[in-house]
Amino acid sequence: MTLPSWVARWIRAVVPDAFAGDLLDDLDDGFEQRRRDGRGGRRWLALELMRTPYLRLWLQARRMQAAGTRREMPAGTGGGMGGVGMGLKVAARSLMKRPSYTLVAVLTLTASIGAATLIFSVIEGVMLRPLPYDGAERIYRIYATNESWREAEQTVLRESWNRLDVTEDMLGALRGSIPGAEALGAHTKATVRLDDGLDPVQLDGARFLPGFFETLSTRPVIGRLPTAPEVEAREPVALISERLWTSRYGRDPNVLGRSIALGQEPATIIGVLPASFAMPSESARWWTPLSKDFADGRTDVAVFAAFVRLAEGVHSDLATEGVARVGSSLADGSAAYADMGVRLRPLAELVVADVREGITLLFWAVVVVVLIASVNLANLVVARGSRRRGEMAVRSALGASRVELVWSMLSETALLCAVGGGLGVLMATQLLDPFMALLARATPDFPRMDGVGVNGLVLLFSAGVAIITALLSGLFPALNASGRSPWEALQEGRRSRGGRATRRTQRALLLTEAALAMVLLVVAGLLTRSALFVASIDPGYDSESVAFLGIDTSDERYQSAEAALALGEELRARLSRLPGTVSAASASGLPGLGGADGRLVWPRDGGLEVGELIWTNAVSPGYFETMGIPLLAGREFTTADGPDDAMTAVVSTLFAEKYFGGDDPVGQTFMMGTGARLVGGKVVATNENVVTVVGVVADVRQLAVFMDPDPGLYVSMAQSKGENPDIILRTQAPPVEILDAARAEIRAVDPSLLVSRADVLHSSMRKLIAPLEVRLILIVALAALAAFLTVVGVYGVVAYVVSDQVHEIGLRMALGARSTGESSRMVKQALGPVVFGGVVGWGGAYAASGLIESGLYGVEALDAPTYLAVTALLLVVAAVAAWIPARRAAAVDPMRVLTEE
């Protein structure tokens, strides 16, 4: 080609493709000929371009297409401008001409498709990817159930009624009775001290029964699994996790054969399990066969997490029935198992049970945002479609098929969605790492995080979202605009470009958008209120200047009650003398962090059968002062409450009310078991004592900060077998500064003493709230995005209506209508569908709030103030968005409109 390139561009832009190629070739020939002969090629070319009959070329191209006398046409020609390539080319050209529209649309799509990709990559990695066990889909967890707990008064019992561990008796009954079972395994989790010659640490792990590795089959990274005879014989072998192998032993292969002690029990490391073997949880670091003298040889203690692996091709219903039969025969055979049953749950469901709710909520929120983005885009396309109606009619009259017309409209949205989708995926890959870091901070043992990434399946999903968005937003308006007879469309003329049908469609879309946004706004509103409530909770104690250090007393030197007590006394005395310390105490559990025993309590005149499980905290003298829990009556513990003295208790206000009504509780007595354990389906006291109340303190939220206080009681540390106590320090200085000095002090007492945890109470409590906060931030961000998209939609519709009705407005104003009246009429027209959509959205919001109900604190799912507040918010922003373009209606000059007529 010797033609200047601008000529080619010009010809391709303005001459239909049916002719452009041939014309260019021939112009090129002529040009070259003249240049060679020195006959003024450029002048000739300029003349040619001026004399080209552009209009006739277009008309001819269309006629030829309509008559079917197509030449072998290049893709995309003629009246329909058909063809995928041409459609996209035209679409790109047209989008470039409207940069602000294109920018808004692309940003909308990038944000929504990006968010969808991000959430889906987490869902795929965490929930959809198969678990790292062979045939994981055939593994089921076996739970015990207790019908009588279903309606129990205590939240703890009620929430766990169908997720109970099983006893060894149950395992015995299940073994061999599940149809299609290939293997049955069980373990019991434990947190113990690891002694291996390095600094001791406290680690989570599990002790397992025979069948464990047959059920949850895995391949060790190095070493081997224990053989069945080894497990049967309960040989002292141990497996450690790849994470521990890496962090503690630097992946040294000589770790095999190393002698260690787990909770004082010696063992030899024989294998390293992959990091993905997260059983019982992500924090598990060791596994060892259950030793013989576990639970004093009792077989009715419910502490086992049990699993069954079904043979290939066995339907789970069959196994479920078999399991249910075992449960009912146990219940019939023994009083201890009276209300009990057994059920199966797929393993995959359980591994991610804790995070499933949060992820699912996020996923639906993202779906809503993507829908709103589609609706928004659809609205823009409808407006544009009605502007192009005349063009469509002409094309249709000239023989363009409906498919070609639909495609020519759809190609714009397709292009937008492709670009938005691509950028969205890019955004997701960039944000994935920070997002996962955020999740990890919020949920320390977030399961299966390593598997998360943007992979083929995720890309497929993103492409699917982009295509669906394109179809949702483009197809409906395109069909709408193209499905009318050209005659009708031409008749409608140019006076009103939109017409009633378009405005009706737009109102419907606006309504949909407002309804969808309302759902997200309500959910975000409820979560915000819930978070505000949690932040405002008074836990009943002062957590601000309190540090704590957990002491592991599992060393054999501290096994006697006297030695443990003496150690506690010495630590307390030394730490209280640390500069900056106001007071020191020790306790077996920390309030708000789930630290408490459950003990069975019953009135002296009642029997054991009316016993009730009450949370109990064993505390040293000075505890209430250190924690800032007000003493309301009587006294606190002193050295007078020693191991050989009569048993005493300090009770909470709720406990006093419940057991002693209006009487003065101080000096009253009740019965208490010193320990309680789950035997079959019953909580059983292991011992009983008469306990005298010596004091009453204010209620605290001992079990969880979110839960209303339950009745509780305190016993003297000296009268209780206080294992692994926490030393609690109230400080003047910021508590975090005292931790190092406190550790040094503890080492001075006994260098081998293990500090299992050390933190500031306040920050530990904040970590508990972190998952709620992260969820809140994400949902609020998505809701804000949804509201913003809705506002953009409102703005677009009003702007369109104003420009569409210029004529009508001018006429009205000429007849005496006030300009402000015209503006407010526009705003009202736009707000109608928003109000209606908002009300429709209430229904959806109520349904959606069921999803988050279990995570709401201090606010009902149907919280009227929240509903009203977010509705008002939506209306106000919608009104502002409508008013901005509506002002243009007031600026209409009636004279000009009428002259144009």
Binding residues for another protein, rule: CB under 8 A, are: 1, 15, 18-19, 22-23, 25-30, 33, 47-48, 51-54, 56-57, 60-61, 63-64, 67, 69, 71-72
In this structure, the number of other CB atoms found within 10 A of the CB of residue 620 comes to 27
**Minimum CB distance to another protein, residue 29 (Å):** 4
Closest to another protein by CB, 18 or 656: 18
Phi, psi of 276 (to 5 degrees): -75, -10
Q: In sequence order, which residues have a C-beta less than 8 Å from that of residue 759 and are 6 or more positions away?
A: 547, 548, 739
Closest to another protein by CB, 43 or 604: 43
**Minimum CB distance to another protein, residue 403 (Å):** 23
Read off the DSSP letter of residue 580. Answer: T
Closest to another protein by CB, 26 or 663: 26
**Minimum CB distance to another protein, residue 16 (Å):** 10
In this structure, the number of other CB atoms found within 10 A of the CB of residue 689 comes to 17
**Minimum CB distance to another protein, residue 8 (Å):** 13
DSSP string for 259-295: EEEETTEEEEEEEEE-TT--SS-TTEEEEEEPPTTGG
**Minimum CB distance to another protein, residue 26 (Å):** 3
Closest to another protein by CB, 63 or 243: 63
Instruction: Give the type of residue at 700.
Output: V
Which pair of structure tokens corresponds to residue 787?
Answer: 């509201």
**Minimum CB distance to another protein, residue 69 (Å):** 5
Angle 432-437-439 (CA atoms, 0-180°, nearest 5)?
A: 95
Q: Is the dihedral of CA 862, 867, 869, 870 positive or negative?
A: positive
Closest to another protein by CB, 31 or 213: 31
Closest to another protein by CB, 27 or 874: 27
Closest to another protein by CB, 72 or 644: 72
**Minimum CB distance to another protein, residue 57 (Å):** 5
Read off the DSSP letter of residue 128. Answer: I
Instruction: Give the type of residue at 354.
Output: D
Closest to another protein by CB, 61 or 355: 61
Phi, psi of 519 (to 5 degrees): -55, -50
Read off the DSSP letter of residue 211. Answer: T
**Minimum CB distance to another protein, residue 25 (Å):** 5
Q: Strands 265-273, 222-223: parallel, antiparallel or unpaired by DSSP?
A: antiparallel
Which pair of structure tokens corresponds to residue 728?
Answer: 């609690």
**Minimum CB distance to another protein, residue 491 (Å):** 29
Closest to another protein by CB, 66 or 647: 66
- Omega before 280 cis (within 30°)? yes
Pick the closest to residue 311 from 455, 179, 480 (CA basis).
Answer: 179
Closest to another protein by CB, 34 or 441: 34
Pick the closest to residue 402 from 295, 478, 301, 319 (CA basis).
Answer: 478
Closest to another protein by CB, 398 or 466: 398
Q: Strands 201-208, 284-289: parallel, antiparallel or unpaired by DSSP?
A: parallel
Alpha carbon distances (Å) from 127 to 124, 358, 830, 845: 6, 12, 42, 25
**Minimum CB distance to another protein, residue 396 (Å):** 20
Which pair of structure tokens corresponds to residue 27?
Answer: 């112009």
Contact 116, 465 (CB under 8 A): yes
**Minimum CB distance to another protein, residue 28 (Å):** 7
**Minimum CB distance to another protein, residue 77 (Å):** 12
User: Three-state SS string across 708-774, please?
Assistant: CCCCEEEEEHHHCCCCCCEEEEEECCCHHHHHHHHHHHHHHHCCCCEEEEEEEHHHHHHHHHHHHHH
Closest to another protein by CB, 31 or 615: 31
